[in-house]
Amino acid sequence: MLLDSLKRYNVILASNSPRRRELLADLGIDFQVRTLNSIDESYPPSLPVMEIAEYISRKKAHAYIAEIHFGELVITADTVVILGDEVLGKPVDVDDARRMLRELSGKTHKVVTGVTIATTENLKSFSAVTDVEFAELSDEDINYYVENYKPLDKAGAYGIQEWIGCMGVRHINGSFYNVMGLPLHRLYTELNSLLQNA
């Protein structure tokens, strides 16, 4: 069983995201959080939008590889929201959050989470994609959400597990947890595969 195999590793979640911490804990994995300051999260402008999240997760992992020791396993992740060919990152302020939510209103967008699992011997990256369809959101809906929740720390300015997801998301195709920031089934499967081949 994966949880038994993981006992030989000190699992490190390299993320400041409270949602990722919650999700990894839900898998029953014992882990510690370790973060480095000022990791460069830039990417080449020519990189296809669907590859950005995985590219950044791998970039984060390479920053940690120099810091980890034998017997440690680090998980890095990055989530992007893609509407058409536009990447919606974290909004810079509440006006930017309102703009993003108006753009997402009544449309389907993609949420891509890139994940990298690294030890001193192995590195494995993958992406998960979820399609999310929003109903039409009124200005009142958007204002209520922006004023009562915390859209500024979320790609695309929303958390699907919050009020706006409950009332505004009409349909999703793919992993719900992926939209929250960590595709749990895929992560479990990839960890299992990595450790069986280690």
Indicate which residue of 26, 30, 40, 78 is catalytic.
78
Cα atoms in the Cβ-side hemisphere of radius 13 Å centred on 181: 25
pLDDT tens-place string over residues 67-114: 899 999 999 999 999 999 999 989 999 999 999 999 999 999 999 999
Q: Tokens representing 27?
A: 């898998």
| Cβ proximity of 54 and 77 under 8 Å | no
Handedness of CA 84, 90, 92, 95 (dihedral sign): positive
Instruction: Indicate if 78 belongs to the active site.
Output: yes
Sequence letter at residue 36: L
- 13: three-class secondary structure by DSSP: strand
Report residue 196's pLDDT band, with 50, 70 and 90 as the boundaries: confident
For residues 32 and 79, what is the distance between their CA atoms, to the nearest angstrom? Answer: 21
Q: Is the pLDDT at 197 greater than 80, yes or no?
A: no
Report residue 198's pLDDT band, with 50, 70 and 90 as the boundaries: low
pLDDT tens-place string over residues 20-47: 999 999 999 999 999 988 888 889 999 9
pLDDT (mean) for 53-67: 94
pLDDT (mean) for 127-154: 96
pLDDT (mean) for 115-131: 96
